[in-house]
DNA sequence: TTAATTACTCAAGTAACTTGAATTAAATAT
DNA sequence: ATATTTAATTCAAGTTACTTGAGTAATTAA
């Protein structure tokens, strides 16, 4: 029997209702405070329809009346705003060595974050531990379980079996054939989304970071490896098999450093946490972790300086590519790397002149630093849930 | 006054109707012949709704009854199929030296193509000439003007002012500040879409080429320069400023060939029609055009062979990047280059081993040749119109 | 004080979908 | 042959969420 599933479903009154609620909610969130007449004009709906929808959203606690306008002609506008504290979202970052859990309100504001160390992170061991951590963190945030919108699980890619599976230390052992989403859903009993760290980070910048008003952005994420998250037209990209954005293994130098993937000259061998560790250890430094790197940076260590220099060279090349490929409004740099390093890298970049991004009328810099700091991935996971519930769907009615 | 335009509009019964018609039309087109009960199951609509919709589509001539099933239990299915000849779409490729016009039926089948040479292609001169060519081609295709769905205008990017504007011979002179869409719409009085060549080519492969069943694909387009068209989740990508996919100027060799853009080592200086011309002319060949290249290829010319070899090296690198970035189902190679060259390039590629595309369970090759040949761009323009009218919109209700 | 302006509400109307019962037509079982 | 099963389709009524149009309210400007 052939595959008879349509990519995009048809609509009816009920699905339309859901769509319109999301449209209105999204509009208010991004333009608050605002009134019903304005919403109606902007969203292409009648005032009456908007009135009914805002009533329903207010009854659900998602919108609030915050007052009336004065000073303008005409009847004063009853102003609505998004109520970010009616419900909340949770994100959890799964790493080989640790997991981080974050609870966010619907404006993307961090309420509580927690972390536990873990070793031998097989699915059988890690998933129950993750669920316990989630429960504990929600508890310490003082939020009722029934107001949880969902959990975003963030993992380093790539997913599935390919020539990039299980190389380096980026991947979690034994997770390639696990249906992660289903396992978590079964254990938690709520909506679960699984994403890679870079995409999660990109979404977090759009939900509450440096790109809240931007529909097209690229996020270069420093995890163990290096990832790219892209939001295009307001929607995140994930590829045919969920492996979008594996820029760690693009080749920036022919016959360059040997990489564990079998190629040579991979970007990740120059610009990543792993690359920094390797580079510094080869020069006699020991016990290189985030703290150590922060300390070396504060000491203005010449080896670290040198690493930043060459990492910036390769990153500049990669950013040039990304600009010419995606034509984003801006490129954000961030992830599990100390802020001071990100800043130094940005300062050292020499971005290619020949780029569609090299425009006189830019309203944002070509490169900016991400806002969410070291818990980016977990915050990103929760942000995905927020994004999903407050953004009208790409292919509606699915 | 702030920007109060919502990205995505709300829906109502009428917009829902339009959406559902597109959903059904798209489903039938991709699964014909098919019956109403199956459509209903697949599209998430009731049988009754589908019945009304197919009646309406049939009345418009867009669907046809083609018979009944036999051999199966139950009441035989009244089978519908898409009627590709009720209306038609037109594409026009604008180049600095020529324009090509193509008339396609709604299955993406070429009915007639025509071409005229042009010099000094300023907007003032070229747009009236283009409109005349369009009229003439429609005429010679014997199609009534009122059944024209729209015109897709295809131009080499990048659009707008940037450091890449007007370099090389890829760009049209004087078009950077012209509102092309509006000028054509005014002159033609029908729907007009403007796209770059690579994106148009990608869409044409999805409408009627080698990727009709694929939702995620990348198309590497040989124009004068080199472009990338991407379809992700069934929808084409265009970037924040319409300049998505300028891969000609990604750098594949540090300190490589000097490029007109000011960088060195740009992919386009190794793998493009221009690169071939430069390479061969430096080695004493003269009057290098498409015909000449075809002839040299047939003669197995060693210089051309050598060019293909080094072009393939750089292309392999770029394809590896593209695979790791976009995670597509396949990468298509094509454009304004003789088939024999495309085939030779594909044969010479040495794709990186370390790639998410290097999977055992692939159902398609990593690289395939595009289907539409030398008129790809014009055919692509018309395909965009077809895609647009038969594919449910990305952000519905806009 | 009056006019103009803008927001909002009420009640009725409408379009397009869903539902459930009835009908039809073929394959298969008796 | 006839009855049963299966599945598609139609009919008529019901439902939902939106739109429309008239009317009301609250404020500024003249």
Q: Domains of chain B, with CATH numbers?
A: 13-82 (1.10.10.10), 88-203+379-390 (3.30.420.40), 214-370 (3.30.420.40)
Which residue, chain included where needed, has tokens 């018309």?
A: B382
Chain B residues in contact with A259 by the CB 8 A cut-off are 354
Residue B255 has pLDDT above 80, yes or no: yes
Q: Above pLDDT 70, what percent of chain B? A: 92
A243 vs B contacts (CB less than 8 Å): 327, 356
**Does the pLDDT of residue B2 top 60, yes or no?**
no
Tokens 């590896």 belong to which residue?
A: B320
- How much is the average pLDDT of B279-303? 93
Residue B119 has a pLDDT of 84
Q: How confident is the model at residue B261 (pLDDT cuts 50, 70, 90)?
A: confident
Whether CB of A44 is under 7 Å from strand D: the answer is yes
Joined together, the tokens standing for residue A40 give: 């109606």
pLDDT at B30: 87
Which member of A233, A261, A352 has the closest CB to residue B251? A352
Chain D positions with any atom < 7 A from a protein CB: 5-13, 15-21, 25-29
Nucleotide nearest to A69 (CA to C1'): D27
C1' (D11) to CA (A2) span, angstroms: 32
The reply to whether A356 touches chain B by the CB within 8 Å rule is yes
Residue in B closest to A167 by C-alpha = B354
Whether the pLDDT of residue B153 is over 80: the answer is yes
Please give the share of chain B, as a percent, with pLDDT higher than 90. Answer: 63
Nearest to A251 among B43, B327, B352 (CB): B352
Q: How many CB pairs under 8 A join A and B?
A: 270
Cα(A350)–Cα(A352) distance, rounded to whole angstroms?
Answer: 6
Q: How far apart are CA A88 and CA A106, in angstroms?
A: 6
The pLDDT assigned to B166 comes to: 53
Instruction: Tell me what pLDDT residue A5 has.
Output: 61
Facing A359 at nearest CB: one of B44, B162, B259 = B162
**B363 touches A at CB < 8 Å:** no
How much is the average pLDDT of B118-145?
91
Mean predicted confidence (pLDDT) in B266-292: 92
At A224 the pLDDT is 78
At residue B62, the pLDDT reads 92
* Chain B from 57 to 116: CB within 8 A of any A CB: none
Peptide bond into A33 cis (omega under 30): yes
Q: Which of A170-174, B332-336, B369-373 has the lowest mean pLDDT?
A: A170-174
The CA distance from A57 to A149, in Å, is: 15
First to last CA, chain B: 22
Q: What's the pLDDT score for residue A336?
A: 85
Q: CB < 7 Å to strand C — which of 47-76 in chain A?
A: 47-48, 51, 72-76
**Angle between the N-to-C axes of helices B13-31 and B36-43, in degrees from 0 to 180, rounded to the nearest 10:** 120
Rounded distance between C-alpha atoms, residue A331 and residue A365, angstroms: 8
B184: Cβ contacts below 8 Å, ≥ 6 apart: B127, B130, B131, B151, B153, B192, B194
Strand C bases with any atom < 7 A from protein Cβ: 4-12, 14-20, 24-28
Percentage helix, strand, coil for chain A under 3-state DSSP, each rounded to 5: 40, 20, 40
Beta bridge partners of B148: B88
Residue B265 has pLDDT above 50, yes or no: yes
Residues 6+ apart with CB under 8 A from A289: none
Going residue by residue through chain A (398 aa), what tens digit of pLDDT does each one get? 344 466 688 889 999 999 999 999 999 998 989 999 999 999 999 999 999 999 999 999 999 999 888 878 889 999 999 999 989 999 999 988 889 999 999 999 999 999 999 888 788 888 999 999 999 999 999 999 989 999 999 988 777 666 665 555 456 666 766 788 899 999 999 989 999 899 999 999 999 989 988 999 999 999 878 999 999 988 899 999 888 999 998 888 878 898 888 788 889 999 998 899 999 999 999 888 889 999 999 999 999 999 999 999 999 989 999 999 999 999 999 998 899 999 999 999 998 777 788 887 888 999 999 987 778 999 999 999 998 887 776 554 44
pLDDT at A234: 86
Task: Name the pLDDT band for B229 (thresholds 50, 70, 90).
Answer: very high
Mean pLDDT confidence for B358-374: 87
pLDDT at B164 over 80: no
Chain A neighbours among B 113-172 (CB < 8 Å)? 158, 160-164, 167
Chain A residues within 8 A of B241 when measuring between CB atoms:
327, 356, 359
B317-331 residue pLDDT tens: 899 999 999 999 999
Which residues of chain B are within 8 Å of residue A10 when distances are taken between CB atoms?
19-20, 23-24, 43-45, 49
Pairing of strands A110-117, A148-155: unpaired
Distance CA B309, CA B313 (A): 6
- The verdict on a CB contact (< 8 Å) between A325 and B245 is yes
Residue B45 pLDDT: 95
Question: Which residue's CA is nearest to the C1' of nucleotide D12?
Answer: B48
CB contacts of A38 in chain B (<8 Å) are: 4
- State how far residue B34 is from chain A, nearest Cα, in angstroms: 10
* A164 in Cβ contact with A194 (< 8 Å): no
Model confidence band, residue B165 (pLDDT cutoffs 50, 70, 90): low
Alpha helices, DSSP H, located in chain B: 13-31, 36-43, 47-59, 123-140, 180-188, 197-208, 273-282, 290-298, 302-326, 339-348, 376-390
Task: Tell me if chain A has a CB within 8 Å of the CB of B12.
Answer: yes
pLDDT tens digits, one per residue of B26-71:
999 989 899 999 999 999 999 999 999 999 999 999 999 998 887 7
Does any CB of chain A come closer than 8 Å to the CB of residue B259? Answer: yes
Contact between chains at A239 and B327 (C-beta distance less than 8 A) = yes
D14 C1' to B10 CA distance, Å? 25
Classify the phi-psi angles of A7: left when phi > 0, otherwise alpha if psi is within -120 to 50, otherwise beta: alpha
- Beta carbons of A320 and A352 less than 8 angstroms apart: yes
User: Is residue A320 within 8 Å of residue A368, measured between CB atoms?
Assistant: no
With beta carbons under 8 A apart, name residues in chain B contacting A326: 237, 239, 244
Q: Which of residues 131-170 of B touch strand D (CB under 7 A)?
A: none
**Mean predicted lDDT score pLDDT of chain B:** 88
Look at residue B344 and tell me whether its pLDDT is greater than 70.
yes
Q: Which nucleotide shows the minimum CA-to-C1' distance to residue A73?
A: D28
Nearest to A356 among B232, B246, B392 (CB): B246
Exposure letters B2-21 (e unless 16+ CB within 10 A, then b): eeeebbbbbbbeebbbebbb
* Nearest-CB residue to A327 (from B26, B240, B317): B240
């Amino acid at each position: 029997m052939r595959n008879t599933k349509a990519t995009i479903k048809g609509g009816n009154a009920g699905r339309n209702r859901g769509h319109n609620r999301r449209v209105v909610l999204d509009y208010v969130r991004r333009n608050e405070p605002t009134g019903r007449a304005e919403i109606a004009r902007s969203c292409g709906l009648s005032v009456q329809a908007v009135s009914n929808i805002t009533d329903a959203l207010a009854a659900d606690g998602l919108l609030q009346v915050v007052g009336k306008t004065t000073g303008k002609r005409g009847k004063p506008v009853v102003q609505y705003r998004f109520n970010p504290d009616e419900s909340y979202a949770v994100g959890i970052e799964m790493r080989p060595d640790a997991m981080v859990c974050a609870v966010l309100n619907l404006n993307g504001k961090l309420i509580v974050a927690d972390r536990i160390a873990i070793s031998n992170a097989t699915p059988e061991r890690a998933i129950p531990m993750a669920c316990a951590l989630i429960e504990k963190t929600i508890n310490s945030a003082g939020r009722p379980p029934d107001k949880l919108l969902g959990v975003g699980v963030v993992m380093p890619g790539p997913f599935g079996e390919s020539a990039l599976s299980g190389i380096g230390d980026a991947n979690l052992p034994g997770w390639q054939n696990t249906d992660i989403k289903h396992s978590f859903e079964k254990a938690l009993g709520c909506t679960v989304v699984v994403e890679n760290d870079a995409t999660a980070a990109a979404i977090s910048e759009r939900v509450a970071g440096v790109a809240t008003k931007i529909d097209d952005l690229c996020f270069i994420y420093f995890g163990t490896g290096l990832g790219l998250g892209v939001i295009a037209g307001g929607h995140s990209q994930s590829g045919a098999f969920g492996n979008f954005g594996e820029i760690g293994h693009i080749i920036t130098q022919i016959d360059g450093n040997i990489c564990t993937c079998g190629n040579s000259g991979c970007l990740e061998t120059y610009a990543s946490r792993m690359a920094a560790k390797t580079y510094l250890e080869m020069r006699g430094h020991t016990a290189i972790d985030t703290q150590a790197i922060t300390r070396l940076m504060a000491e203005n260590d010449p080896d670290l300086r040198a690493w930043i220099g060459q990492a910036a060279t390769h990153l500049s090349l990669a950013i040039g590519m990304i600009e010419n490929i995606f034509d984003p409004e801006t490129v954000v740099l961030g992830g599990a790397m100390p802020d001071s390093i990100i800043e130094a890298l940005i300062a050292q970049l020499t971005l290619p002149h020949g780029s569609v991004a090299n425009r006189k009328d830019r309203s944002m810099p070509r490169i900016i630093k991400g806002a969410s700091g070291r818990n980016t991935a977990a915050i990103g996971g929760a942000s995905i849930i927020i994004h999903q519930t407050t953004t009208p769907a790409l292919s509606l009615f699915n």
